[in-house]
């Protein structure tokens, strides 16, 4: 592992959403361990969470700048998790633009103290940071929180001639410069990407962020060569100035290799759900299915009820994180499943759950972070994409059809339309197949093989480990005026 000179500083500016922030906190530790001084930009209400994740690293510090007061947003709303409705997402993203002046103030202070950053790693939603970085001659590296393949698909779609764009959900899409491991249909594409509405505020934001994106110095990708190396070249082709995509992931596994993890594992043993999993592990390994759909998906009461009944019918032990505070389990259900099921309404450490030897499957919305964590732990997925505005459909197809490391919950009708409520029978049958069927066994073998590759990527001389050293060397040489 190459150690960086102590004089090197870099700035990381995460978007104020947990799924965007957590991976950047993970990679900040990898930079810090290599000797770089990392300054993380955040806002007052997000600071305590970031401190809780980084306080053991003396090379990581915070620079707190105010989040602007916007009439449309509730007072104190500084994270997308605090939005009363995702309809306010555009307003939230627009509000971040007012952070430009205090952000530039941080850069000015760093330069004045002789700590000019070798780069700024910025979330793609913070597109305005490109202008700031250009003003100070600092390379901007953009971070999306998505995989290389899904990003390449999304960028390819913007170049499709109007006459070739599909109209029906099951229409096939051909991307001439991208060889895909699955059949691509309109139903798989994030909403609004093909049907651009110039009057839609969020659509205009996506165009704006895309322009800043392709003009950045480079791209940070939470993935690894063995998983997505075949698509990196196609993805890079959309960028100007020979910008490179750096697959340095899985980010969270760098921390898994360090001594501090021992202390974290001791703390995790006190969690009630880990104690519950310990009891399950005593019967027969990998019998528990973990169920969680992230923080953004909002399921109806009917759908939550069907999940409850489906899990009960499958008769496999389960641990289910229910984000809805208003859902009340069907009458008598909790009593019937109390020996086999654990329902959590509060925050749970997903990584500690997925890494537990009792876990044999993950019913997931297929957000990129969740998918990457699952395969890194060798846990196969039962894929159920939820959010149409994200790339979850693409992630699900990639892991199920591309890698064979999971099964799919049938969630679309014969015409490709989204099924409003997936029935308990469907859920039951798929859980049984994943946890005890032949297809599930093969998916588990594939996931375990990917897990070995993921861990190997971040170990010494692994593909991601070497790429991280290469990135630091390039930025260091750039700062010193070398070619």
- Catalytically annotated residues: 20, 123
Q: What does the DSSP 8-state code read for residue 400?
A: I
Report the interhelical angle of 18-33 vs 368-376 (nearest 10°): 50
d(Cα 216, Cα 211) in Å, to the nearest integer?
9
Q: In the chain, how long is the greatest CA-to-CA distance?
A: 70
- Specify the length of the chain in residues: 483
Distance between CA atoms of residues 165 and 223, nearest Å: 29
∠ at Cα 211 (209, 212), nearest 5°? 65
Question: Which pair of tokens denotes residue 55?
Answer: 């306080």
Helices (H) and strands (E) in the chain, counts: 19, 13
CA distance 459 to 439: 31
The residue written with tokens 């064979």 in the block is 404
Q: How far apart are alpha carbons 192 and 357 in whole angstroms?
A: 41
Measured between alpha carbons, how far is 374 from 265 in angstroms, rounded to an integer? 18
Distance CA 185, CA 171 (A): 5
The span from the CA of 57 to the CA of 444, in Å, is 35
CB burial string 189-220: b at 16+ within 10 A, e below: bbeebeeeeeeeebbebbeebbebbebbbbbb
SS3 72: coil
């Amino acid at each position: 592992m190459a150690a960086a000179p102590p004089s090197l500083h870099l700035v990381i500016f995460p978007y104020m959403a947990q799924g965007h922030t957590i991976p950047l906190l993970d990679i900040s530790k990898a930079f810090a361990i290599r000797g770089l001084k990392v300054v993380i930009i955040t806002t007052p209400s997000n600071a305590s969470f970031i401190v809780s994740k980084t306080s053991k690293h003396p090379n990581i510090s915070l620079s707190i700048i105010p989040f602007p007061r916007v009439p449309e947003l509730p007072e104190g709303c500084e994270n997308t998790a605090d939005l009363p409705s995702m309809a306010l997402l555009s307003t939230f993203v627009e509000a971040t633009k007012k952070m430009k002046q205090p952000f530039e103030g941080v850069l000015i202070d760093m330069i004045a103290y002789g700590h000019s950053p070798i780069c700024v790693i910025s979330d793609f939603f913070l597109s305005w940071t490109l202008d700031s970085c250009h003003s100070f001659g600092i390379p901007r590296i953009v971070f999306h929180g998505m995989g290389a393949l899904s990003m390449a698909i999304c960028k390819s779609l913007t170049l499709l001639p109007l006459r070739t764009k599909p109209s029906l959900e099951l229409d096939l899409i051909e991307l001439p410069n991208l060889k895909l491991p699955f059949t691509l249909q309109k139903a798989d594409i994030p909403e609004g990407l093909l049907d651009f509405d110039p009057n839609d505020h969020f659509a205009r934001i996506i165009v704006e962020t895309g322009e800043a994106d392709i003009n950045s110095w480079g791209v940070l990708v939470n993935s690894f060569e063995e998983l997505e190396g075949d698509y990196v070249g196609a993805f890079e082709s959309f960028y100007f100035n020979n910008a490179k995509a750096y697959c340095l992931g899985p980010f969270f596994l760098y921390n898994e290799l360090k001594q501090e993890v021992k202390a974290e594992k001791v703390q995790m043993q006190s969690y009630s759900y880990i104690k519950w999993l310990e009891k399950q592990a005593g019967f027969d390994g990998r019998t528990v299915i973990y169920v969680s759909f992230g923080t953004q998906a909002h399921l109806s009461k009917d759908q939550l009820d069907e999940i409850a009944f489906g899990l009960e019918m499958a008769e496999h032990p389960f641990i289910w994180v229910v984000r809805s505070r208003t859902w009340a389990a069907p009458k008598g259900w909790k009593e019937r499943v109390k020996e086999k099921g654990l329902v959590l309404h509060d925050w749970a450490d997903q990584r500690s759950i997925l890494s537990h030897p009792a876990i044999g499957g993950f019913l997931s919305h297929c957000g990129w972070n969740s998918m990457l964590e699952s395969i890194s732990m060798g846990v196969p997925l039962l894929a159920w994409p939820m959010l149409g505005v994200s790339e979850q459909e693409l992630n699900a197809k990639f892991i199920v059809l591309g890698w064979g490391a999971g099964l799919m919950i049938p969630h679309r009708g014969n015409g490709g339309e989204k099924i409003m409520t997936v029935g308990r029978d469907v859920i039951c049958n798929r859980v049984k197949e994943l946890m005890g069927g032949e297809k599930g066994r093969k998916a588990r073998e594939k996931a375990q093989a990917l897990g070995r590759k993921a861990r190997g990527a971040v170990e010494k001389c692994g593909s991601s480990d070497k790429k991280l050293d290469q990135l630091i060397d390039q930025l260091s040489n750039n700062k010193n005026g070398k070619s």
